Structure 1
């Protein structure tokens, strides 16, 4: 017991003999040692996280069990559904849907389209002919309705588009499946038809939904040159590939609106398909109308 007492007294005596200035300096030394040590450790953790490609947390998906559904109407559903999307632009209103279709669905659509492909055509303005517009759209394509597809793939996709857009599927045209080979493109154009250029319209295209069926190694982007009013005041060259660009990724979807809520054409909805530089581009387009009977 005595030896323990002497040891304790020796420590106290040693600190006392150093004096207050020395004790103060030691305290400062240990403070900065701890501060810089923690900073270095924090930096090391950040570097290790970066090397492991740790990114910001992904948005939490909706859990069916978290909410009690409201009483639905006769035409509604009693379950929650989540179709993730990103707002790409407000001018035009353009939404991106990652992973909208599966790889198997995309491959199935390509398989059914390959046997019926033909050079793509255009709706002609007054005075235009197929000959003087042949360089505007150089892809190959075909039209197919969901009721023609015995596999049921297009029916599944059409139902999902209906949920994503809240536009009844009976307002949709047949799917236009397109293939763009090397160098092929579609110059900037509108999906809606201006009556002053195309004559009176029985119905109008409200929106377009593009389902990318393949990746493209380089080029092939969907572009909006007038996004947010850019390039609209200049003498725009419709062959240019500028503005907001969306790279095709297999299974992803793109929705954009051609009309304002008042029914007039949104000038910023001008869009096109950039030339394919490397690879091949497959896409299925669904045009949505403001009327059911549009034939």
Structure 2
């Protein structure tokens, strides 16, 4: 009968052996993390998106006189392809938003409408009940509106020269804007020197309840049915201070996107402030 194999006895006691095992575990954990960072196909954890320089994972390209010296990253979420609508969280800081509100407060007037053929102020009364004012970036000595305007240009790839002045709007409880198009159909409004092709809404305040931006025809639903333009229905975007909403009113071929119909739901609780930037297909004259 063969005897059992004998192994040399060690001089390590139980505490020492436990310590060595623990140190081996830590070393293995550390080196496995290092290796996993370089293994192709390993999905990294979520990270905060930010602007990066030369260490951003690639060499910078030579840039022209009007270009940027570093990579620019602006987080966004596609809300809809029909219409084309994108959401930009944290587009502006709370301080920037409050400064814009303070600029506008003393100059607010009842909002007006561009009238279609056959419409009058009386027949459209109640369609748009907010108050607002226009402020161009050149009027703002703080530079805040200029910084926001430059960022909008990067997000949309539409130059600042094509943007109208900011329309700063306030909606109190019960105030709203019925469904409408930002683009002007020449058949309804007459010949146009230029066309509004995109709109960027910067929400300057949170709203406790109501005040959503809504797209009732999202994905083509209800477009062939009788529709009450006063209803708050469809895709709804809740205002959050500092966030932005971009949507396109015109297709690349120049035709108006019928699904870009949108409106502002009535504010139920709180107050809504928003800065709207309309962008045209031609250079906008001051």
The residue matched to 1:228 in structure 2 has which SS? helix
Question: Which residue matches 1:99?
Answer: 90
Distance of 1:214 and 1:76 partners within structure 2: 32
Q: By how many angstroms is 1:127 displaced?
A: 1.2
Q: Is the 8 A contact 2:249 2:256 kept in 1?
A: yes
1:15 is matched with which residue? none
Stretches of structure 2 lacking an aligned partner (at least 5 in a row): 5-43
Does the 8 Å contact 1:203/1:294 carry over to 2? no
Within 1, Cα distance between the matches of 2:275 and 2:199? 10
Question: For 2:126, which of 124, 128, 135 is the aligned residue?
Answer: 135
Size of the aligned set, in residue pairs, is 241
Q: Distance in 2 between matches of 1:106 and 1:283?
A: 9
The aligned residue for residue 239 of structure 2 is 248
SS of match in other structure, 1:248: coil
- The answer to whether the 8 A contact 2:49-2:74 is kept is no
Counterpart for residue 254 of structure 2: 263
Who wins on radius of gyration, i.e. which is larger? 1
- For 1:76 and 1:158, the matched residues in 2 are separated by 16
The alpha-carbon deviation at position 282 of structure 1 amounts to 0.2
How does the TM-score come out when normalised to structure 2? 0.82
Q: Counterparts of 1:67 and 1:156 in 2: how far apart (Å)?
A: 27
Aligned equivalent of 2:49, options 51, 61, 76:
61
Question: Is there any run of 5+ residues in structure 1 with no aligned partner, and where?
Answer: 6-55
For the residues of structure 1 that align with 2:285 and 2:136, how far apart are their CA atoms? 14
Q: Which structure's residues are more often helix, by fraction?
A: 1
TM-score (norm 1): 0.79
2:137, 2:64 → 1: CA distance? 27
The answer to whether the 8 Å contact 2:164/2:284 transfers is no
* Secondary structure of 1:88's aligned partner: strand
Displacement after TM superposition at 1:61 (Å)? 2.6
Q: Which residues in structure 2 correspond to 1:32-47 (within 5 Å)?
A: none
Give per-residue Cα distances to partners, 1:104-163, cap 9 Å, x unaligned: 000000001000001000000111111111110000000010111111110110011011
* RMSD, aligned CA: 1.5
* Counterpart for residue 180 of structure 1: 171
Name which of structure 1's ranges 75-84 and 153-162 shifts more when overlaid on structure 2: 75-84
